[in-house]
Structure 1
Amino acid sequence: MASAHDFFLLGDHEAAKQLVTSALQAEGFTVTTTPSGGLLAKRGSAARTFWLGAMAGKNFQVSFLVDFMVDQQGRLVARLNRNMVSGALKGGAIGAAKTDTAFQETANAIAAAAHPAGILGDSISQN
């Protein structure tokens, strides 16, 4: 299970950040900016997840952080992060699996948006 996924994005940094935001929104996330300039992406219902755990179905709440940094080659790095513990706390093993699936789908969605736009330089999954 990956805990982070790095996307090395080419070109204009602000345009790349907007593309990442749009990809998250297309996956049903509500996206807000963090104090450090990253993104907080949330979807699902906190109340339903609290009461029903993994049985909340598609209303199971997941949230991911995207941190932005610049690498030595000047590329924007968008790091999609997830909390390894929160899925298990919310819904046990099933909740952890739901969070892992959502994380993989979200990483794939960002790559699927960046690749045809011609800005995906590289993509690395981290444990």
Structure 2
Amino acid sequence: MASSYDFFISGDHDAAKTIIGDALTAEGFTITMNVDGGFHAVRGSTAATVLWGGLAGKKLHMAFDTKFFVDEHGQLVARLSRDLAVGALKGGAIGATKTANAFEATSHAVGTALTNAGVLTSSIAN
């Protein structure tokens, strides 16, 4: 499974960032802005994850980051990524699997939102 996805986006950069933020929020994440202008998306409960590990269900704590940069063609690139080690540490094998599945679903939701807005030119799984 991928540990990151790069989304190549045409059009207005700020509008694309809003689309991505809205897609992450729709997936249940709370978004904060990183100092570099990227997003830190978090959902779940750290306490529930510590207590129940991978059995925390919808309260399983997970965090994904989105970094933004511009490629050589002037397109905005949004890199959605996850830390592979953190999922395993927080919830064991079950937590790692659930985090991986949530990451895939979240990546799909972001790609779908960008496609529906007509701004996604391509994407790459890393």
TM-score by length of 1: 0.98
Aligned to 1:45: 45
Gaps of 5+ in 1: none
- Measure the CA separation in 2 of the matches of 1:32 and 1:121: 26
| TM-superposed deviation, 1:70 | 0.2
1:15 aligns with 2:10: no
Q: Does 1:109 align with 2:109?
A: yes
Q: What is the rounded CA distance, in whole Å, between the counterparts of 2:43 and 2:91 in structure 1?
A: 16
- Name the amino acid aligned to 1:80: L
Instruction: Find the aligned partners of 1:13 and 1:60 in 2 and give their Cα distance.
Output: 32
Counterpart of 2:77, as a letter, is V
**CA positional deviation for 1:98:** 0.5
Instruction: Give TM-score scaled by structure 2 length.
Output: 0.98
List structure 1 runs of 4+ shifted beyond 3 angstroms.
none
Q: Quote how far apart the aligned CAs of 1:91 are.
A: 1.2
Residue in structure 2 matched with residue 31 of structure 1 by the alignment = 31
C-alpha offsets along residues 32-52 of structure 1, whole Å, 9 cap, x if unaligned?
A: 100111000000011100111
Whole-angstrom CA distance in 1 between matches of 2:105 and 2:75: 24
Percent sequence identity is: 52
Q: What is the letter of the counterpart of residue 18 of structure 2?
A: Q
Residues 53-84 of structure 1, C-alpha deviations (whole Å, 9 max, x = no match): 00100110110000000001111000001000
Q: How many residues align?
A: 126
CA drift of 1:116 comes to: 1.2
Q: Counterparts of 1:44-83 in structure 2 under 5 Å?
A: 44-83=44-83
Over aligned residue pairs, what C-alpha RMSD do you find? 0.5
